[in-house]
Amino acid sequence: MSDEKHLIRYSGRGAFARDLIARAAGSSVFTEDGRELLDFTSGQMSAILGHSHPEIVATVQEQVASLDHLHSGMLSRPVLDLAERLVATLPAPLEKAVFLTTGAEANEAALRMAKLVTGGHEVVSFARSWHGMTQGAANATYSAGRVGYGPAAPGNFALPVPDRFRPSIVGPDGELDWRRQLDLGFDLVDAQSVGALAACLVEPVLSSGGVVDLPPGYLAALAEKCRERGMLLIVDEAQTGLCRTGDWYAFERDGVVPDILTLSKTLGAGLPLAAVVTSAEIEERAHERGFLFFTTHVNDPLPAAVGLTVLDVLQRDGLDRRAAELGERLQAGLRSLPHDVVADVRGRGLLVGLELGGADADQRGARVTARCAELGLHVNIVQLPGMGGTFRIAPPLTASGEEIDRGVTIIGEALSSVR
């Protein structure tokens, strides 16, 4: 690998990968020395159409040659078209959108909007959440990055995670009693609040928190808690939005419509594109109060054109159904691995968690990850103390059944070799 001496290391405890990547295509990335790695993380959980999708390539080439970037106060046809097309995939009253660059930026804008509209400043999110590293998003992130940076902003509260695999509160059947856990969580929030609750910001599947799928009914109960307190519910679908879970949006399963939806990662299929979507009523109230979120690349035409192509491909190829079918195939394959070290397989669609058991799961997870890379598969483990044996598996929605099977086989071989 080339010399890294001029690079700032930015991922906490993690090191850069050993291999330099020269190119990527479809479901694979290729190193400078010619090795192929099947990509079971879709880049940074983003490339839902795989790498170098021909229609994305064509869109970028055409758009960059005609209109790539504008003053942030100007509008273009790709932005207007993307707003119309995107809200057409969403339930009412979500009908107003702004396009940004990253998930952190989208969550930052959503939080500012919620605070301005409600007049409050307090934010509730899950104790193993990840919403980004900008100030407001980082204050609502509890899975990492809180140590050493000084005091967090006042008014940020953590809810216990409704983790069915490792339940903190159980009922008579020994299963997670998430309703009692949720009640207790808000009892603690209410006790700490100064009466200025503004928003609850949550992921429908906590990805960095261990691929924890909220129990059916949880999101609806959470929405009711928010309504009772005059809070806005912000749902962060950076990784779950746009078909990855088998539905266009993960919140649809519970019949809940968030007050504000944030999208990123999957919307640009690997290119920097994010969105905040809300109702006309909330947008009007925010505008009346002078909502300000003016960034260099807000509503840029080039990424908007890419977003339109992403929606085209998702709809034309029925990739929501494909994600559901491939997800079932992936989970079935992982569950069939003949290894007593596999403690749990969970997730929705093509966002799947595989958790190893045993006291040395963290160390074994790191060894399995390295062995998978040697065998030609890139996988990612959760970077939380005590959860380093949990793999986040998110192949592109365009992966073939054979590629899913090949990845499962490699994971099985890696588990055997480091057992």
| Strand spans (E) along 286-364 | 342-348, 351-356
User: Of 253, 265, 322, 346, which one is the catalytic site residue?
Assistant: 265
Q: Rounded to an integer, what is the distance from CA 116 to the centroid of its chain?
A: 25
Q: Is 248 a catalytic residue?
A: no
Q: Length of the chain, please?
A: 419
With residue 99 as reference, give the H or E element that holds it. Answer: strand 94-100
**C-alpha distances out from residue 45 to 4, 48, 305, 334, 398, Å:** 24, 8, 21, 19, 13
Q: Is 151 helix (H, G, I), strand (E, B) or coil?
A: coil
Q: 239, 254, 259, 331: which one is catalytic?
A: 239
Nearby residues of 381 by Cβ (< 8 Å), 6 or more positions away: 365, 366, 369, 388, 389, 390, 391, 392
d(CA 96, CA 291) in angstroms, rounded, equals 14
SS3 159: strand
Of the candidates 236, 237, 247, 300, the residue annotated as catalytic is: 236
- The answer to whether the CB of 85 falls within 8 A of the CB of 97 is no
Catalytic site includes residue 320: no
Q: What is the C-alpha separation between 55 and 65, in angstroms, rounded?
A: 16
Q: Is 239 a known active-site residue?
A: yes
DSSP 16: P
The angle formed by the CA atoms of residues 169, 361 and 387, to the nearest 5 degrees, is 50
Given the residues 39, 213, 392, 403, the one annotated as active site = 392
| Residue 20 one-letter amino acid | L
Q: HSE on the CB side for 157, CA within 13 Å?
A: 23
What is the H or E stretch that residue 238 is in?
Answer: none
Token couple for 200: 């609850």
The residues with which 347 forms a beta bridge, in sequence order, are 352
Max CA-CA distance within the chain?
64
> 130, 213, 237, 254: which is the annotated catalytic residue?
130
Active-site annotation holds for 236: yes
Distance CA 367, CA 373 (A): 10
Contact 91, 277 (CB under 8 A): no
Concerning whether 392 is annotated as a catalytic residue, the answer is yes
Catalytic site includes residue 203: yes
Residues with active-site annotation: 130, 203, 236, 239, 265, 392
